[in-house]
Amino acid sequence: MMGAPFIAQLLRAMSGILEEHMHPPHTSNPREAKSPGAAEHLVRRRQLRGLLTLALAAILFAILRAGIHRVFTTGWWRLW
């Protein structure tokens, strides 16, 4: 059984990780942050990249779990 000091240390480590991610995004590249709108554009681009990665992971999981012929049945492109 885990002791209380271990759990307290784990919680402190997790709160430190969360605090690091709560700060507003900054750019390390000076070309990307020339205007206030550039930071918002960078955040939107990262959001889009994350959503596309998530969608790709969901499709890949479905294909691995069910097989490609069940996910994309014959003639699936004709439904559009």
The tens digit of pLDDT for each residue in 29-79 reads 555 556 778 888 899 999 999 999 999 999 999 999 999 889 888 887 787
Does the pLDDT value for residue 1 go beyond 50? no
pLDDT at 31: 55
pLDDT at 75: 85
Nearest to 73 by CA among 63, 61, 60: 63
Nearest to 25 by CA among 59, 50, 1: 50
What is the spatial distance between Cα 4 and Cα 2, in angstroms, rounded to a whole number? 7
Nearest to 71 by CA among 54, 59, 79, 80: 59
Side-chain-facing half-sphere of 73: CA atoms under 13 Å: 4
pLDDT at 5: 72
